[in-house]
């Protein structure tokens, strides 16, 4: 294998996957080839400096709801038959894999909170020649966190979600809070096709001014609104499971002008109220 072969792989993979995914692949390849060189299975790693990796596009804009759009979407999710998963995404800022990996044992009724301990992912198994789902843990130790549920309606609906699912003559005791109609863990793409996208289409049809976002953009929305509402950035980073404030800096960069305007107005209003209280 030579550098040109690595470059060909990167070029083809870049047509399907994001630069961040290719970066992870290259890091894995580097570890593999470095280990091979150390064990004298090859004399030199083909992953040389001449191999060009795709760069992230800084112009890519992540969309987020305004507070008014968020309120409308959340109210719509309350009335949606399968709206629990949408309410959780909007309210907590968790990722899709964390949502689908949420288990009943992660629900703490004493503290009215959820614990994020794992993420459900799907990968293609070369041995079985099919997609396999796995609770793979989290990206880093910071993603393991506890998130309080402050909306009583969401908490009530979460606690009342069915733990037993009946499909035909089969009754299944579910492990996942968000599960398939058969009571099994939801394959991520199936969940998007059956639950998330139908919700987004129905919401947009009823409210054309509200764009159809991705699950990650709902996470981005939560972070954007938290910051706009004056939440301490460190607290927002902790709720999102970020190791530092770098990701929040990116959120600031993509925050809409209108959201920033509302944040300034809210800050001025708070300052005025405090001044009047002192007077």
Q: Does the 67-264 domain belong in CATH 3.40.1160.10?
A: no
pTM: 0.71
pLDDT at 65: 92
pLDDT at 248: 64
pLDDT at 71: 96
Name the range with the highest mean pLDDT among 5-19, 45-59, 142-156, 227-241.
142-156
Q: Which residues of 75-101 are buried (b: 16+ CB within 10 A; e: fewer)?
A: ebbeebeebbbbbbbbbbbbbbbbbbb
pLDDT in tens, 70-126: 999 999 999 999 999 999 999 999 999 999 999 999 999 999 999 999 888 765 555
pLDDT at 59: 47
Domain ranges of the chain: 1-60, 67-264
Query: Are 263 and 270 within 8 A, CB to CB?
Result: no
Mean local confidence (pLDDT), 215-242: 87
pLDDT in tens, 130-178: 555 666 666 566 788 999 999 999 999 999 988 887 766 778 788 999 9
Pairwise pLDDT comparison (63 vs 65), residue with the higher score? 65
């Amino acid at each position: 294998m030579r550098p040109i072969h690595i470059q060909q792989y990167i070029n083809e993979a870049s047509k399907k996957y994001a630069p961040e995914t290719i970066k992870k692949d290259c890091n894995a390849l580097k570890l593999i080839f470095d280990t091979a060189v150390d064990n004298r299975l090859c004399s030199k790693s083909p992953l040389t400096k001449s191999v060009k990796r795709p760069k992230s596009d800084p112009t890519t804009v992540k969309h987020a709801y305004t507070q008014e759009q968020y309120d409308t979407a959340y109210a719509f999710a309350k009335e949606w038959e399968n709206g629990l998963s949408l309410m959780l995404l909007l309210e907590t800022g968790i990722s899709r894999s964390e949502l689908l990996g949420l288990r009943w044992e992660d629900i703490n009724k004493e503290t009215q909170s959820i614990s994020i301990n794992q993420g459900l992912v799907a990968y293609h198994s070369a041995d079985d020649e099919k997609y396999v789902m796995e609770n793979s843990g989290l990206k880093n130790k910071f993603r393991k966190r506890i998130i309080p549920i402050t909306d009583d309606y969401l908490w009530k609906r979460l606690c009342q979600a069915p733990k037993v699912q009946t499909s035909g003559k089969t009754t299944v005791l579910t492990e996942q809070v968000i599960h398939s109609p058969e009571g099994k863990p939801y394959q991520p793409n199936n969940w998007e096709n059956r639950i998330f996208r139908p919700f987004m289409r129905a919401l947009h049809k009823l409210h054309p001014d509200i764009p159809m976002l991705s699950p990650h953009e709902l996470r981005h929305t939560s972070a954007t609104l938290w910051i706009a509402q004056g939440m301490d950035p460190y607290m927002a980073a902790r709720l999102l499971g970020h190791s530092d404030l770098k990701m929040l800096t990116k959120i600031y960069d993509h925050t809409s002008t209108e959201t920033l305007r509302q944040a300034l107005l809210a800050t001025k209003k708070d300052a005025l109220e405090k001044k009047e209280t002192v007077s």
